[in-house]
Amino acid sequence: MSPETSEFNLTIFLKSLPHSAGVYRMIAADDTVLYVGKAVNLKRRVSSYFQKNDHSPRIQLMLKQVARVEITLTRSEAEALILENNLIKSLSPKYNILFRDDKSYPYLMLSGHEFPKLAYFRGTPKKPHQYFGPYPNGYAVRDSIEILQKVFQLRTCEDSVFAHRDRACLLHQIKRCSAPCVGAIGADDYAAQVRHAAAFLNGKTADLLKDLETQMFQAADELDFELAAKLRDQIQALGVIQSKQFVDSHNLNHQGDIDVVALAVSGGDVCLHWVSIRGGRHVGDRNFFPDTRHDPNPNGQDYAEAFVSQHYLGKQKPDVLIANFRLPESLQNALNQEHGRQMIFSAGERGERKVWLNMAVKNAANALAQHQLQNVNQQVRMAALTELMGLPENELRRLECFDISHTQGEATMASCVVYDDFAMQPKQYRRYNIQTAKAGDDYAAMREVLTRRYGKLVETAARGETVRFPDAVLIDGGMGQVNVAVAVWAELGLTIPIIGIAKGVERKAGLEELILPFQNQRFRLPENSPALHLLQTVRDESHRFAITGMRAKRDKARITSSLNDIAGVGAKRKAALLMRFGGLRGVQAASVEDLASVEGISLALAQKIYDYFHG
């Protein structure tokens, strides 16, 4: 960075910096925020960047791009940490340690209705619903829902279905729902089951078991043996669940929500293993691998602090956080400030906490070893493909692949999947509805999708904006599709390498023909070729992504067309039927009586709808 520019004078800026807590932002010439940091003393911290020469390669690379620095003053270091975290999440600066999530974490929700619904939830919690979590993944939530259905028989149906049922569903018959929709259970009794479920989710299982036992004995004394038997079965079910899935400790059940975070560092790579314990039960775990490519000797403590900041600040927090690293006091204060009560920060010194932490540390080390092995394998594959295409070493990192999918010309869909940084990047996948090509014309469809995607990138680059082009483009198809790509490249002025992968005559994996149009080559690779394995992986993912999109588009069109073909079923009646039965399959499975129960559907029309699908 030049210390003297017409817009920003670094010397003057550094001299004028206050000795106060705050946040600083390193900004590039194109106004991109490169890095966000916090400081208890802004003058000392920011000045150190430009007075020292022993920075890590990551910071050295960043400093070469800095055009100016901006600051924001705060009242304390804890406040600075919270602001830093908010800015990192909103700006995603390139040189910060980032722990990105595909989406928000899932929760288990008990709705605020008269007969609360048990549901899977993502998003911002809202009153009057009750939320439990967050859980590491959707599987953990669904596992808990299954348990609660078996033990407490709470409803899981949509409100629209609940409001219009006139007979109990299959879940009631298999004892997974108490059927409040048809009055099989009263409001007070259902509310009691909801309270029991909430107690279970809050880890108060011992108290819940005592309460149920008291009710069981009371029912027996009153000669209500049917209720006593039902309570006995519930107690036994809870006992089985507790013995199978809970830590054998009364202490953990009274410590609230517990999270365990274990740090592992090896060979320039970092892994954070996160474990979620709710109500004494291990509900799931997840591994995080931050990008350390520009940091050959990563400081594990820095990555651990960044993880905790981004994972918990501004989000729901556990009551106990067990970790194999120490959090700075400023971060602890910031977490407590948001939590509203004192969190317990433990190093797993003894007892159950030590057991939990040891398990997490072991899992972190194992996950990191597997991650490194997988990366080595991917690097070998990419190096082989780079050599195959005659590109300079390390010049091939990002690969984009295109495929066209349709059913005999119906619902044509194009897919673009991305392989980058030695892994598939699902967040960057795109689907394209083909708009101009005739049905079944794969060549025209390929021309349309390539023109739309890269034409837009070329226009963006022409405006002087930063654009990330792929290092190579993979076309799933033979010489015809590849020639289409070459023609589009000529129209757009692109020189990106193209490689086609065509199924062989036998259409078997391992017998694919590869096409390099710019080298005028067509050939096959051995079945054990690492380059071929990489191309097959990317091609198969593109094919899968295109097919799933095409089928969803086709089925949606067929739902509309099927009901439109029935005389007397207009837009309102169609919407009412789909709402009542949850989709076309539900309409197809409904009886004449069920169809006639929908508003606006007479018995005669119901018979006509039924005959359409079953005649």
The enclosing domain of 341 has a CATH number of 3.30.420.10
Amino acid at 427: K
Q: What's the pLDDT at 246?
A: 36
Residue 100 confidence class, pLDDT cut points 50, 70, 90: low
For residue range 439-475, list pLDDT tens digits in order. Answer: 768 899 899 999 999 999 999 988 888 788 999 999 9
258-266 and 521-523 as β-strands: parallel, antiparallel, unpaired?
unpaired
On whether residue 20 sits in a domain, the answer given is: yes
Same-domain pairing of 518 and 601 = no
Q: How confident is the model at residue 158, as a pLDDT?
A: 86
CA distance 308 to 302: 10
Q: What is the mean pLDDT of residues 161-166?
A: 83
- What residues make up the domain containing 420? 399-553
Q: How confident is the model at residue 401 (pLDDT cuts 50, 70, 90)?
A: very high
Residues 407 and 547 in one domain: yes
Query: Which among 91, 116, 138 is the end of a domain?
Result: 91
Could you please report the per-residue DSSP string of 221-239? HTT-HHHHHHHHHHHHHHH
Same-domain check for residues 573 and 543? no
**Contact (Cβ atoms closer than 8 angstroms) between residue 585 and residue 559:** no
Residues 300 and 428 in one domain: no
434 touches 417 (CB < 8 A): no
Sheet of 281-288, strand order = 281-288, 269-278, 258-266, 320-323, 344-346
φ and ψ at residue 149, rounded to 5 degrees: -65, -45
218 is a domain residue:
no
- Confidence class of residue 555 from pLDDT cuts 50, 70 and 90? low
Q: What does the alpha-carbon distance between residue 586 and residue 577 come to, in Å, rounded to a whole number?
A: 9
Q: Which residue has the higher pLDDT, 531 or 127?
A: 531
We report the CATH number of the domain holding residue 75 as 3.40.1440.10
Please check whether residues 494 and 521 belong to one and the same domain: yes
Residues whose CB falls within 8 Å of the CB of residue 366, separated by 6 or more in sequence, listed in order: none
Average pLDDT for 133-152: 77
Query: Using one digit for the tens of pLDDT, what is the confidence trace for 246-262?
Result: 333 444 444 568 899 99
Find the CATH number of the domain harbouring 432: 3.30.420.340
Indicate whether 236 belongs to any domain: no
What value does the mean pLDDT take over residues 24-44?
A: 91
pLDDT the model gives residue 46 = 94
* 543 & 440 share domain: yes
284/323 same-domain check: yes
- For residue range 103-132, list pLDDT tens digits in order: 567 888 888 888 999 888 887 777 888 887
The answer, yes or no, to whether residue 305 has pLDDT greater than 80, is yes
- Model confidence at 615, pLDDT cuts 50, 70, 90, reads low
Domain boundary residue among 319, 337, 372? Answer: 372
- 346 plus 451 within the same structural domain: no
List of long-range contacts for 158-164, beta carbons under 8 Å, 24+ apart: 158/117, 158/582, 159/113, 159/117, 160/579, 160/580, 161/580, 161/582, 162/115, 162/117, 164/580, 164/597, 164/598
480 in a structural domain: yes
Other Cβ atoms closer than 10 A to 1: 18
Does pLDDT of 245 surpass 50? no
| pLDDT at residue 5 is higher than 80 | no
DSSP character string of 409-445: TEEEEEEEEEEETTEE-GGG-EEEE--SSPTT-HHHH
Q: How far apart are CA 431 and CA 553, in angstroms?
A: 11
The predicted pLDDT at position 106 comes to 82
Kindly state whether residue 186 falls inside one of the protein's structural domains: no
Query: 520 and 602: one domain?
Result: no
- The enclosing domain of 572 has a CATH number of 1.10.150.20
Instruction: Return the minimum-mean-pLDDT range out of 86-100, 312-326, 380-394, 525-539.
Output: 86-100
Residues 539 and 445 in one domain: yes
Number of domains in the chain: 4
Say whether both 479 and 530 belong to one domain: yes
| Domain end call among 522, 553, 584 | 553
- The whole-number pLDDT of residue 48 equals 93
pLDDT of res. 22: 92
- Inside any domain, residue 536: yes
In a domain, 321, yes or no: yes
Whole-prediction pTM: 0.58
At 2, is the pLDDT very low, low, confident or very high (cuts 50, 70, 90)?
A: very low
Residues 6+ apart with CB under 8 A from 240: none
Within a domain: 211? no
Residue 495 sits in the same domain as residue 590: no
DSSP string, 457-521: HHHHHHTT------SEEEEES-HHHHHHHHHHHHHHT----EEEEE--TT--TT-PEEEEGGGTE
Q: What is the mean pLDDT of the chain?
A: 83
Between 106 and 485, residue with greater pLDDT:
485
